[in-house]
Structure 1
């Protein structure tokens, strides 16, 4: 790992995250001299935070319906060329033995560091040149090739450039959105970036009264009274809003709804495992416990976390001290609605700095899905989060980085020379 004085390369990779490392490896394996320019002090910094530090690096059952941004035909061609099986095989070749959990693949070490270090070792083996802690400021077409200039005015030339600068998520790890500016200067359109896989802010008594609670829940996302998605899993209630995997999965749609000034709500079902009639029967039985002489608060204990009871009764318009046996049919209906259809108004996201990925980015309509090459600028390639492709939790976003990075690296040799 060393810096270098300005000189020419076959390929310059702008960005040393997951996609940039992958692109550099495949270009170098094809015999190219490769330079990686990275803003951070080390490569793959963001990889270390993935999968809660365990790195869910792919999914054996990638479903293209769980990606957003690019159209399905584009994604089909990319993943046909480099699939999740190709990813598994690639990492096995680097010494990463997979550990599978419900189809999700982690390194058997259960350490994201293992993945990052395996990639770095391969980059070192292939003698890829690294320039660290520098920001790519400008990419210019020359005859032949490209001239790349950093913020401190150092220049490098190459026959091909791979733009893998990432998005705007996790800015603390170097994701600054620089790639959008560079791509737009070269003629590419940008879909407005928003935070995705991120917590959401909410205006509701629930968030203050039940902060710290984790609960199994079903979450329906509503945008301007239109149902747009449903997820079930762990909900986390915070003092500012909602978190947990079900919220992360819903956050992209919520973020774009907020950007477009639409009304965004999450409808929470706190009894997701019960069918409608089962939930009604369960509630009736609990209200009749001890001959109806328990209070409503007491009748819900053991069914819900204690901190959830007060906001749910408040939403139902019922007193916690009311005897369960005194509830009429209308009371039961209101209580059931609060338990199964608790609507929370979303006011904001928790921002790019807390987001796992960026939704939006360089539009894919002028990019060849077989090679990741620009149709506007021959010799310019794209990989990873800088593009308008993002997926749900579960290895989807890293798989996109591996696939797009591998294709860009494979096909960038011998361009514009």
Structure 2
């Protein structure tokens, strides 16, 4: 392993955090002295690092919270999956910290157990723990923590931020941001950022999914569709204008035979992968971007080691982190005097898809059913529970759009 590594601690000692320092970033490892790297804790830290980056203070802080909890359990002779209400409340009660920090510790531990529950290797143990230290409810598979810090006064909360988190943007706002970015020119950064926004609008991907898009995945999808030969990367056509034109023609033929695009595989929250439809127009924009700037993926690397992320940082030459993707989109909203974020573009796409499903159902003589819409879209947009789709679907817009076609009995 490259980098300067702090020594391992003696066996039977306390859990510790080990840092591996490289030139550009740090990597953190939770160490159990009995076995080395603590796999259950490291799985969660690896997921956070994918989202926030190796130098994030929040990743390190989360690791220390897990370590503190595990050390407390070890002092009582228990493993992480043997905790009960008594230990959980006792651990929280011993903390001499502010309510805000206490709430943070509470939330991190629950996120950690929920993360473990979503992985087959740890699911059974995590489910056992959650059953012992949670109150089951009808609203959540995991229930809620028995300890919930009192909320402060309204003045202590950022109500503006809460309101903004449920923003539904209009067609005009989306059209404005796309048009304004297009007017900025054709530099690598502008083309890259324009494509990021296009993926937000066209696919409804989270930032973590966009950052994970691979050139290899796009090439594989084009090969399966017969657009390019097997075992040939789209980089192969970087300077061949005639071949590029032929590929564009083949793409357009997909529409002629009733196809909508190609499916690529992306990794999103909790390291879950799913297939995402990339429509023909977005594929054209993606290929134009790659071929126009194909040298960016070769710089600093031999031909056999081409970079594989679609969205690269001009500064580091590496794939953009999810947090950077979010910042890119938010920065353009602010630059053009608009209110919104990448997650609002995801809501826009999901609502548009919901409207499409409603119109298709009406065409087949089916009445409007908001729950059925959310169920149909949950899997498509990477939600385990259809109930979590509600904040993403602008039912008001859907109802306005279909107007009198909706039976009053089915209105929400």
**Normalised by the size of structure 2, how large is the TM-score?**
0.24
Which gives a bigger RCO, structure 1 or 2 (Cα 8 Å, sep 6+)? 1
Choose between structure 1 and 2: higher strand proportion.
1
**Normalised by the size of structure 1, how large is the TM-score?**
0.24
